[in-house]
Chains A and B, each alone.
Chain A
C-alpha cells in the first residue's frame, strides 16, 4: 500500500466509510497481531491489544489523521497498547524482548505451503532470526514480515537509517553463513 493509497484510506475512514475500515483491518490485522504477540506472549492478549487499537481508531475516526507511514503509526499504537495490557497484567515489562516469530511458525503446518525444502528453509530462516541480537532481529522482522522500509524502521525504532541497513546486511550475512547448502 503506497502512501497515497494510505491517505485515501485514512480519509475514507475519517468520513465514516465502513468498507474502508474493513479494508484497513484486513490489511493490517494479522501483521499487527504478530507484533503484539511478540510483546504480550499471548495470542489472546495480542488480539485484545490490536482490537483495542482498531476500536479506538473507529471511535475517534472523525479526528483521525496520520502523518507519515500508516504501518509505523499502527505498529506504534499496537506497541503502546500491548505494553499497557501487560503492565496491568504483570506490573513489569520487558520491552526489548519482542518478536517470537519462530514460535509462531513452529505451530504451523508449514509443509502445506509449498515444496518441502522451501518450508524447511523458511523455518530455518526464522529460527536463525531468533538467534540474532535483539536489534538485528527486530530490523529483519520489521522489514521482511511487517513490510516496513528501511526509513520506516529507522523512524519506528528511533535509530539511524544507516544503522538499519547495516543490521539488515549483517542479518542476511548471518543467514547465508548458517543455512545448510542443501536447503537451497
Chain B
C-alpha cells in the first residue's frame, strides 16, 4: 500500500546510522507490501555494489612503486641540508602544506616545459646535470617513474553506450583524426576508448580516428609503442606503420618503427599477432603469425619478414619500465636510445666508439648512473653539460 519510498530513511539505514525507532519504522514498511521489500532489495544491491569501484583505485594508482618513490623522496630530504622542516600544525593545513621555494620552482618549470598539450609530459628536466640541483633531479626521477597517463575521455561513454542513439552523426566525424605524440625524453600511457592501453615511447606518434570503425580498430604508429589490446574478437586491432601492418584481436606486444630503422620490429609478450606488409597480406593465407615470445622484423624495402624466438623479452620491452637493456648493441644505436630517453645529444669524442658494442642491463632511471655503467663496461670517460653528453676513450690525450 505505502508505495511512497522514504529514501532518506533508507540511506540512513544502509549507512548504519538509524536509531532503533527508525529501524522499526522501516521494518513495518517492509512488511506492509512485497513491492516495498523488492524496492528495498534493489536499493541495497546498488548500495553494496557501488563500493566495489574502490578496488579499482588500487590498480589505477598502483601503490607498490609509489611507496618506494615516497621513501626515496624522504631519504633524499633527510640528507638535503637546504630542507627547512615545515610547520605542520594540524589546525593550519594551508600553512602546513605550503610548498617550499624550490618545489615551487620545480612545479613551475614542470608546467612550462612539459605541457604542450594534455596528455604529454616531459620525463626529463633541463637542469638535472647540475649536481647542486639534486632536489630537482629527484623530482625528475619521480616523474620519470610515474609516467603521465592521459585518458582519451569522452570517446568512451558515447561509443559504448550511446552509439545507436548518435549513430547518424557519428559517421561524419569518423574521419577526424586524433593525434598523440611524444618528443624526446617523454613517454606517455594512453587508454583508448576500447580499453586498450598504449605506452608510447619517446619521439613517437600515433594517429587514430575520433571514433573507431564499427568493424575494426585502426591506428597509425611512428616510433615505438607497447600495446595491451583489449580483447574483442569482432573488432581486430590493426596497427599501420611504414611498410608494415600488424593485426591482433587481443594481446600485449611492442612495435618499433622509428624513421631511421630498416625494418619494423614486432615483439609479442603474449597472445597472437599477425604481421605483413599490407592489410591484405595480413589477412590472407601467406600471413606470418607470431605467438608468445616471438619477434619479427619486417623489412621496409623488400618486405621480407624474419621471425625469431625471444629468449629475453626485457631486451625489447624493458623501456616500458623506464630502463634500458642491451645485448651486443652497437654504440650508435645505444646513443640513439640515450638521446630519446633523456632528451640529450650524445657525442662521441672519439669516432672509434662507434665500432664498440654494449651488453648491459641499466636498471636505473638516473642518466648519470646509466652513463657510469656504460663508461665502466667499455672503459670510457664521459662529460656532461646542459644539453649534451660527451663520450671519450680513457687515456685519450686531448
Contacts and interface: CB of A to CB of B under 8 A. Distances in A.
B69 A125 contact: no
Nearest to B153: A103
B52 A47 contact: no
B151 A107 contact: yes
Nearest to A124: B161
A113 B52 contact: yes
B17 interface: yes
Interface string B77-98: 1000001011111110110110
A29 B63 contact: yes
Contacts of A57: 88
A32 to B, nearest CB: 9
A143 B70 CA distance: 28
A114 to B, nearest CB: 7
B191 A107 contact: yes
B67 interface: yes
B99 interface: yes
Of B42, B94, B161, most buried by chain A (CB within 10 Å of CB) is: B42
Contact of B90 (A26, A59, A66, A143): A66
B47 interface: yes
B1 interface: no
Given A110-B56, A149-B15, A43 B61 contact: yes
B259 interface: no
A42 B148 contact: yes
B53 A126 contact: yes
A169 B8 contact: yes
A172 B143 CA distance: 39
Contact of B111 (A81, A89, A140): A89
Interface string B49-73: 1111111111111010011011001
A150 B17 contact: yes
Nearest to A161: B17
B66 A77 contact: no
A95 to B, nearest CB: 14
A145 interface: yes
Given A58-B74, A149-B15, A67 B91 contact: yes
A37 B150 CA distance: 12
Interface residues of B, number: 73
A77 B63 contact: no
B356 interface: no
Interface residues of B: mostly helix, strand, loop or mixed? helix
A85 to B, nearest CB: 6
Contact of A84 (B57, B99, B161): B99
Nearest to B63: A29
Nearest to B193: A106
Interface string A88-129: 111000000000111111111110011000100110011100
B51 to A, nearest CB: 5
Contacts of A8: none
B75 to A, nearest CB: 11
Given A59-B88, A63-B88, A144-B51, A44 B97 contact: no
Size bracket, chain A contacts: 35 or more
B114 to A, nearest CB: 10
Contact of B11 (A51, A118, A121, A168): A168
A172 B86 CA distance: 43
A43 B49 CA distance: 25
B42 A44 contact: no
Contacts of B163: none
Contact of A31 (B54, B96, B97, B157): B54
A127 B121 CA distance: 28
A110 B59 CA distance: 11
Given A30-B61, A51-B73, A169-B11, A103 B151 contact: yes
Contacts of A58: 74
A33 B56 contact: no
Given A34-B57, A34-B60, A122-B53, A176 B157 contact: no
A112 to B, nearest CB: 10
Given A63-B87, A89-B110, 6 more contacts: A43-B149, A44-B143, A52-B99, A60-B88, A150-B12, A150-B15
Q: Which 10 A-B residue pairings sit nearest by Cβ, starting from the closest?
A: A60-B88, A169-B7, A30-B57, A33-B61, A43-B149, A44-B148, A107-B191, A168-B11, A169-B8, A89-B111
Interface of B: 5, 7-8, 10-12, 14-15, 17, 39, 42-43, 45-47, 49-61, 63, 66-67, 69-70, 73-74, 77, 83, 85-91, 93-94, 96-97, 99, 103-104, 107-108, 110-111, 115, 118, 121, 142-143, 146-149, 151, 153, 156-157, 161, 191, 195, 197, 230
